Structure 1
């Protein structure tokens, strides 16, 4: 270990990147840049090329000269775990930004491998959100990894806040990347207003903070989540926005003159995203980690490298469109684990019937907009579509899943006859409103 080794051959300073000649250094290892003025700047090893070691400084290294010294600390970036984190707000380096005391607890290395598959349980428990478009149509399952695909301007952070408020998870960890100050303040106000601050931890990178801290936020959040999960806690990790995370990697890669891959992003984009998402786990005999992230799609382009790679890694997606969760673009690949077994027997049938009729109503709307004469069936579909959008798709609706299923039956009964909805007779006999 080169804890006390000091290197003074800084050969290049470019932006936040500092290159020094050193030996026996490891990827990700922390270094401390000691300036002649007495100030110190933390940095992390980003690449090693023979004896050329490039570090990414955690703050603007203005004032650092080639005559300054670098001390390597012999360990990677570490997070502080434990109950002292609850209710606290920290930056990407794990330092408090809430004017509170220093956090005391166990030091945990970040960015470690994900859980041993042998210790993983097949996901089988539903996470209730009280949002019908999730609970009824695309259930969130404990230990799932799922993104919210959105364009800029959609209320994705408000959706995350609602999930945070209404979840039955023991602990909520929010990882904010590239947040504007008003978004950051909104998360604080929401946690205080809902009374969930004492079970919430926030790792926040603001848009004005260094790019390297943006890259650290998911690792910090997930390392702390793992520590809580191994102590029998169910943890919900909310990450916003993974596009800012990928853009930070792109910015650093360009500074290092690396050859870019698709649209300027590094060729490692898939594995960089996957290594974070794969931290989602239901641990045999202990707690769990469920990961919900936001991926803003530049220009609304779902084929952009970030959403495109994300779709291969995660277990579905919620597609946020026109301030609603779009039923046709959204998918939960784990919903079959809970629908009808954990939830009520009619769940699958009533959900499928509502989506099928809503898809038909889209055609009726097209016929109406083109001036065609509408049939009686078209009129029923149109009436149903407006009720469905108001009662199910409106993100303001806040009802438990059983109540949402009953509301689905009621909506069908208001618009159709029992034989028109395509549901099995035994379920109609049991659940059709009398």
Structure 2
């Protein structure tokens, strides 16, 4: 495709099909090409070519097809893919899912533009993730540490506070020593949720550290598909051209997948599992694999997607396929939420596969990995003791099992629970973990090195052996 091609207008629209236009008699049009659609009233809308077959082109309309009359449409193809301006002009701005301002400011401008579709990071050029991104959430920072360049999803369910958790992380996440920014992409939000996000993140946006892209449930479905791609395009250029470390939070990826399913149905594609398109895996991978670090390039892109599991089903296609692509998961649990604990993170179902790349001596603290391993083991033993108590009664438990059973409420309320507006430093989070572990007899702390326990007992400071 040549960007210098003179646009030719086509008026032979065969049909409108949901958010799609099928136009016939086209020539020289390519996949992913940008189109401008002019209505009889003079209004202009924009679209992207999804499919080309013979002389037919299927175009998805970013603003939706509502109010269109096929007889009065004129369509011109630009000979280039959809692009957006990139640069630091996005920081401090609140826009909709297409990048149009929602904050009353002017359109976002940049020195250069980049294709929204983007590309996955070349595996040959990919640098292993390293160094932590601290979220200020004790359960995440201590037990499932997020690492620069990692993709670590949050699995949730309807009624759980995943949006509040995502917003809290966006408001308080930090990394040490270098410039840090957050790109927050909300998809399918209610207007109340969009207002909550905008208000909660206003301070970080005012500081020029945040780009906010908000797609609401009544916005066109095509915009929902565009939103995460726009967010990642903005993040890539802030990171690899601007030298920033960028955290991209995308919520809710289930809403995104449902939009993808709706467009697939409008195209008449053969559905796969639970009516999602057969290319759902590759489509999600095309988003998640755009994060990482590149050899020889400054900055990094870290992705924290949030998704809701319908009926709490972790085998549902969206969490199932996401789990294959990403490097662990943070799981929220109804049982913990019912205890009044926030955030209701189920540590035994959660995992950060790259935690050892970003935690430990020289990165967080010398006792971090040992404390995390011991606390996880203690939680597993406490769960076993609880299950045994339900079967045989607490009187049938051994003294050690009773200590573990008594430890679990301490873990929930003294370590896991924190206020929704409170940021916990890593030292404070680890100190909380130590207080929970020390409710157990020393003989049960076999995963903690003797030197570490001796240092703790001598001056009460776990950091003494960092």
Common topology (TM > 0.5): yes
Match of 2:298 in 1: 286
Q: Which of residues 31, 41, 46 is equivalent to 2:45?
A: 41
Contact 1:10 1:67 in 2 (8 A): no
Q: Given that residues 173 and 238 in structure 1 are in contact (C-alpha distance below 8 angstroms), is that contact kept between their aligned partners in structure 2?
A: yes
1:366 corresponds in structure 2 to 387
Q: What SS does the corresponding residue of 1:388 show, helix, strand or coil?
A: helix
Q: Mapping of 1:25-424 within 5 angstroms?
A: 25-61=29-65, 62-105=67-110, 106-168=112-174, 170-193=180-203, 198-230=208-240, 231-283=242-294, 284-322=296-334, 323=337, 324-341=344-361, 342-370=363-391, 371-373=393-395, 374-396=397-419, 398-413=423-438, 415-422=439-446, 423-424=448-449
Unaligned runs of 5+ in 2: 338-343, 461-466
After superposition, what is the alpha-carbon deviation per residue over 1:298-321, rounded to whole angstroms, capped at 9, x for unaligned?
111111111111111000010011
SS at 1:145 equivalent: coil
2:417 is the alignment partner of 1:426: no
Contact 2:191 2:216 in 1 (8 A): yes
DSSP 3-state at the match of 2:63: coil
Deviations 1:191-211 (A, max 9, x none): 125676521111111100111
Return the alpha-carbon distance in structure 1 between the equivalents of residues 212 and 309 of structure 2.
24
CA displacement at 1:367 relative to structure 2 = 4.1
Q: Given the superposition, is the C-alpha separation of residues 428 and 196 from structure 1 closer, same or farther in structure 2, using an over 3 Å criterion?
A: farther
**Take 1:221 and 1:85, find their aligned partners in 2: how far apart are those partners?**
10
TM-score by length of 1: 0.95
Change (3 A) 1:12 1:195: closer
Distance 1:41 1:410 in 2: 59
What is the CA–CA distance in structure 2 between the aligned matches of 1:3 and 1:431, rounded to whole Å? 74
CA shift for structure 1 position 187? 1.2
Q: Matched residues in 2 for 1:63 and 1:291: separation?
A: 37
When residues 196 and 68 of structure 1 are mapped into structure 2, their CA distance, relative to the original with a 3 A threshold, is closer
Which region of structure 1 is more displaced relative to structure 2, 401-410 or 217-226?
401-410
For 2:146 and 2:103, locate their aligned partners in 1 and report how far apart those are by CA, in whole Å: 32
For residue 349 of structure 1, report the CA deviation from its aligned partner: 2.0
TM-score by length of 2: 0.88
3-state secondary structure, aligned to 1:318: strand
- The CA deviation at 1:408 is 2.1
Query: How far apart, in 1, do the equivalents of 2:276 and 2:418 lie?
Result: 33
1:340 is displaced (CA, Å) by 2.4
Q: Contact 1:136–1:347 (CA<8 Å) still a contact in 2?
A: yes
Do the aligned residues in 2 keep the contact of 1:191 with 1:197 (CA within 8 Å)?
A: no
Q: Which moved more, 1:30-39 or 1:389-398?
A: 389-398
CA apart distance, 1:220: 0.3
List alignment gaps of at least 5 residues for structure 1. none
The answer to whether the 8 A contact 1:28-1:45 is kept is yes
In the TM superposition, residue 424 of structure 1 has moved relative to its aligned partner by: 2.6
C-alpha displacement of 1:36:
2.3
In 2, Cα distance between equivalents of 1:334 and 1:196: 32
- The alignment status of 1:8 with 2:24, answered yes or no, reads no
1:72 deviation in Å? Answer: 1.1
Aligned alpha-carbon RMSD (Å)? 1.9
Out of 110-119 and 246-255, give the one that drifted further: 110-119
User: Is this contact kept in 2: 1:176–1:240, CA < 8 A?
Assistant: yes
